Structure 1
Amino acid sequence: MTLPPAEAVSAAPPTRSFHALGGDVLELLYQHRVLSTQQLHVLLTLPEKRPERPVYLRWQLGELLKAGLVDRIRAKGPGGRGRVQSQPFLWFLTEAGAASVEEAGELPSRPYRVSPESVAGARQAHTLGVNEVGVAFVEWARRLGHECGALDWTPEVANRIRDGQRRFEDDHVISDAVLNYVHMERGGRRTMLSFFVEFDRATMTSARLAAKLEAYGRLYEYVPQSGDRTRRTPNATRPAWMYNYPVFPRVLVILDAAPPKAGEADRRPQRLAARTEDLYTRAGADIRLSRHKGDISIGVTTLRQLQEHGPFAPIFTPLLRGTPSARPAPTNLYLGTK
């Protein structure tokens, strides 16, 4: 992404108090759980005022660390390798930091607590990748004059898709994130967009990812059943998603893959293109999704395309349009007319 030249640190003295910026850091870490120093730097600083090095932010993070409100670990290298000292810091709240945010009452409560062990776990790269999707939307909203801020996506949102008491994962579809975006058009017209975000690092089979997309078809149809039929209201046939979303959010699948090992050819573009093809075939063959192809939009792109070209470039392959022999051309974030 090409951004305006960064100003030198000496030419951009901090204009925000420790209390203000520190509070923003705590809120971001509370909502997004884990963020790298660079992700915090981008989210908290406008491009035209962003110094090349986040000196002031690092100082403030150090103060929060000394106060016991945040903690940090080094990120893993590619594939878990690399010199630890060369990896960026990942920041997260301590119990005291989370309690301070909840005491302020500005954000919806999130009972999940982060620990050094959970940050260092197997999902670290996935969590940071979801953050990169959100950062890309924020950066492009700033460039285009739209509205999408650092708190406009929420990670790991669960929606029930069937009645019963099975495993939580069987009764719910858990989106990697739900993101809200306001598209500003000429004349001041505002179009509010909502998205279910699925970030895929090509670590699961395409069949498993397609099964998760099929779960969104279940979500679209799911109507909670009351045990007492005599007390059912006229809303008893209303799908559950309508209680949380004004319209059914579009589903965005953002693909990425780990970089190649030293000496290996970079075959990521071919791998991700093949994955898109597999998802298109599987989604088109799913009876439930096909039944709702006029109501559900699912689009696939790569993280690199999103970062370089933005969401309103024709970078999304619609999964529920066209035919197996005539796949539609990539389109923009609107995914057609819906």
Structure 2
Amino acid sequence: MPTTTSARPQSLSRLAQEVLPVLHAHRLMTAAQLNRLLRPHTRDTRYLRRQLRQLQELGLADATVRRHNRAGELLYYATALGSDTVEAGGEMPARSYRVTAQAAASALQEHTLAVNETGLAMVEHARRLGDECGALSWEMEVLHRVRDGNARHGDEAWLTPDAVLRYTRTNGTERRLLDSFIEVDRTTMSLARLAAKLHAYARYATYTPQPAPGRSRTTGDLVQEAWRERYPALPRILIILTGAAEPVLARRAWDLRALAAADSRLQRAAARSPLRAGVTTLGLLRDHGPFAPILTPLLGDDVAATDVLLQPGTPARA
């Protein structure tokens, strides 16, 4: 069994040292995804696969076969030792969730890959546009409290986006930080459940923590929404659809907007907060990028296609 000492990062190649934190952060990735993320200048994955084999030999990473893939494609993840090694470096926060062999082989494979494909699409367009969005610019399943009370993981006190993605838009000397909550739907989720997720985001947008038990607010206490402690602006909600033909996904997007528009409580909550939400497809995001008018807005009266900024008035894409 390899030890932490024998698997120190300095014993790895530079590329292997880059791969390990990415696997730790993003849970499960294909060799092709890793190559696009870390070696965009080449499509040849042989060198990267050699580094993955070295990580496996050291016990820092492992692989599982992709389900329902006749070619036997491998999916890679950081082992417990690999995650410990990354966290010991102090550059990434400790994570409560660790990928096990059982979890890596589970039915969640395709959803995890789709979330990472969304982040990868943002990275590739950032390179083309001269913006900043890198290999570690998205974080999976970050907990956000949406009400006071019982804080047990998984109950309705928490909002857990599929990912939080950070992107810096550069326009001349102007730089703009764009945070996004990412939700990926592979057409396996009911529209009612997607609409319920919008409810949770509306609660988060307006949630103001109450004083601790036994303590009352004083005149000098600053009363503000919880999200202001974490973000310079409330992140936009980007719902990414995949898993079906584009016409099917387009109808699903409009059905989701219709559900949101008919929900008066959601609309009132959105009107009282800076909440913005839009839906698009993974195909449109990959093909046209986040700053093309590819999103259907889900809140408000404007139905015109817009870009990731979700500002009204963007002309529809031809």
* SS of the residue 2:142 aligns to: strand
- The alpha carbon displacement at 1:286 in A equals 2.5
Task: Tell whether the 8 Å contact from 1:225 to 1:236 is kept in structure 2 after alignment.
Answer: no
Partner of 2:257 in structure 1? 280
**How do 1:87-126 residues align onto structure 2 when only pairs under 5 Å count?**
87-126=72-111
Distance 1:166 1:100 in 2: 30
Distance 2:287 2:259 in 1: 28
Are 2:149 and 1:174 equivalent residues in the alignment?
A: no
Partner of 1:32 in structure 2? 26
Letter in 1 for 2:310: L
Kindly tell me: are residues 45 and 213 of structure 1, through their superposed partners in 2, closer, same or farther at Cα, counting changes over 3 Å?
A: same
Distance 1:253 1:297 in 2: 11
**How do 1:26-65 residues align onto structure 2 when only pairs under 5 Å count?**
26-46=20-40, 49-50=41-42, 52-65=43-56
Distance 2:156 2:291 in 1: 34
Task: Tell whether the 8 Å contact from 1:313 to 1:332 is kept in structure 2 after alignment.
Answer: yes
TM-score (norm 2): 0.89
CA distances 1:72-108 after superposition (whole Å, capped 9, x unpaired): 011112xxxx43xx13211111111111111111111
Partner of 1:242 in structure 2? 228
Kindly tell me: are residues 337 and 245 of structure 1, through their superposed partners in 2, closer, same or farther at Cα, counting changes over 3 Å?
A: farther
Of 225-234 and 277-286, deviating more is 225-234
Task: Tell whether the 8 Å contact from 2:306 to 2:312 is kept in structure 1 after alignment.
Answer: no
Partner of 2:143 in structure 1? 158
- The alpha carbon displacement at 1:269 in A equals 2.4
- The alpha carbon displacement at 1:288 in A equals 3.9
**What's the RMSD between the two structures over aligned residues?**
1.9
Letter in 2 for 1:98: S
Distance 2:135 2:312 in 1: 28
Unaligned stretches of 5+ residues in structure 2: 1-10, 314-318
Kindly tell me: are residues 233 and 243 of structure 1, through their superposed partners in 2, closer, same or farther at Cα, counting changes over 3 Å?
A: farther
- The alpha carbon displacement at 1:277 in A equals 1.4
Moved over 3 A (4+): 229-236
Partner of 1:6 in structure 2? none
Among all aligned residue pairs of Structure 1 and Structure 2, give the percentage whose two residues are the same amino acid: 45
- The alpha carbon displacement at 1:146 in A equals 0.5
CA distances 1:291-328 after superposition (whole Å, capped 9, x unpaired): 22462110110000000010111100111132xxxx62
Picking from 253, 261, 265, the partner of 2:239 is 253
- The alpha carbon displacement at 1:276 in A equals 0.9
* SS of the residue 2:16 aligns to: helix
Letter in 1 for 2:168: V
Unaligned stretches of 5+ residues in structure 1: 1-16, 259-267
* SS of the residue 1:312 aligns to: coil
CA distances 1:14-52 after superposition (whole Å, capped 9, x unpaired): xxx943211111100111111111111011013xx21x3
Picking from 257, 261, 278, the partner of 1:299 is 278
- The alpha carbon displacement at 1:235 in A equals 4.1
Alignment length (residue pairs): 299
Distance 2:147 2:184 in 1: 23
Partner of 2:15 in structure 1? 21
Task: Tell whether the 8 Å contact from 1:218 to 1:288 is kept in structure 2 after alignment.
Answer: no
Partner of 1:148 in structure 2? 133
- The alpha carbon displacement at 1:237 in A equals 2.4
- The alpha carbon displacement at 1:56 in A equals 0.8
Letter in 2 for 1:76: R
Kindly tell me: are residues 41 and 276 of structure 1, through their superposed partners in 2, closer, same or farther at Cα, counting changes over 3 Å?
A: same
